[in-house]
């Protein structure tokens, strides 16, 4: 396993966030770094790539001690996906294995809450989210016969951020904190 690829990615993100707070610059340069990371599938430990039958897994890989960003692996078994939710911070989603379906939604209350655009993200592809460019979506595994894994980078420790989910039963926004599927990050300190 080539864990150095991941630590090199963290070095790039550290340097980027030390240099700028410009969201467009972070998204552009962060996307380039994430694409370089997910171009290789030899660095993610099996423990952080394991699907579970009950629901998708959100494994914390790294949380920056300065709280500038965090990195997770999302593991989707066939048929698994998220509810419609937001992030409140910038984010990058890159597919390491498989393929994902992304359904984009408007800000609740602006118009009817229904999917306004959907697309698939194949291996190596990267999506962007943020309150400034579009923050509400639902994500699911696009494959019916295999797991999919994506690597997410957010401008906060996203598993501890109070965000919102769209409750389809009540047609209302509800607060939630996603948490993580693991107790401790893969890389705790560098």
Each domain of the chain, given as residue ranges in start order, spans 45-176
Query: Over 80: is that where the pLDDT of 156 sits?
Result: yes
Q: Locate tokens 């923050």: which residue?
A: 135
Residue 107: pLDDT band with limits 50, 70, 90: confident
How many other CB atoms are there within 10 angstroms of residue 159's CB atom? Answer: 19
CATH class name, domain 45-176: mainly beta
pLDDT (tens digit per residue) in 56-94: 999 999 999 999 999 999 999 999 999 999 999 999 999
Residues 93-99 have a mean pLDDT of 98
Residue 28: pLDDT band with limits 50, 70, 90: very high
Query: Over 90: is that where the pLDDT of 114 sits?
Result: no
**Mean model confidence pLDDT for the chain:** 95
pTM of the model: 0.95
Locate 127 and state its tokens. 């999506």
Instruction: Please state, for a pLDDT cut of 70, what percent of the chain lies above it.
Output: 99
Predicted local confidence at residue 78, as pLDDT: 97
Q: Locate tokens 């597919």: which residue?
A: 95
Residues 10-19 have a mean pLDDT of 98
Locate 140 and state its tokens. 């699911």
SS3 for the chain is: CCCHHHHHHHHHHHHHHHHCCCHHHHHHHHHHHHHHHHCCCCCCCHHHCCCCCCCCEEEEEEECCCCCCEEEEEEECCCCECCCECCCCCEEEEEEECEEEEEEECCECCECCCCCEEEEEECCCEEEEECCCECEEEEEECCCCCCEEEEEEECCCHHHCCEEEEECCCCEEEEECCCCCCCCCCCCCC
Predicted local confidence at residue 177, as pLDDT: 96
Locate 123 and state its tokens. 């291996």
Residue 179, Ramachandran bin (φ over 0: left; ψ between -120 and 50: alpha; else beta): left
């Amino acid at each position: 396993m080539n864990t150095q690829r991941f630590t090199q990615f963290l070095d790039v993100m550290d340097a980027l966030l030390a240099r700028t707070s410009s969201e467009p610059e972070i998204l552009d340069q962060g996307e380039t770094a994430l694409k370089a990371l997910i171009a290789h599938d030899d660095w993610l430990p099996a423990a952080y790539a394991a699907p579970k039958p009950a629901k998708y897994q959100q494994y914390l890989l790294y949380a920056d001690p300065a709280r500038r960003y965090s990195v997770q692996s999302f593991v989707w078994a066939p048929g698994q996906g998220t509810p419609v939710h937001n992030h409140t911070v910038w984010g990058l989603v890159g597919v390491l294995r498989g393929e994902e379906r992304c359904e984009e939604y408007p800000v609740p209350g602006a118009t009817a809450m229904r999917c306004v655009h959907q697309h698939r993200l194949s291996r190596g592809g990267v999506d962007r989210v943020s309150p400034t460019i579009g923050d509400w979506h639902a994500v699911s595994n696009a494959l019916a016969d295999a797991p999919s894994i994506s690597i997410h980078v957010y401008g906060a420790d996203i598993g501890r951020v109070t965000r919102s989910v769209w409750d389809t039963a009540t047609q209302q926004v509800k607060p939630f904190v996603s948490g993580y599927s693991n107790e401790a990050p893969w890389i705790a300190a560098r």
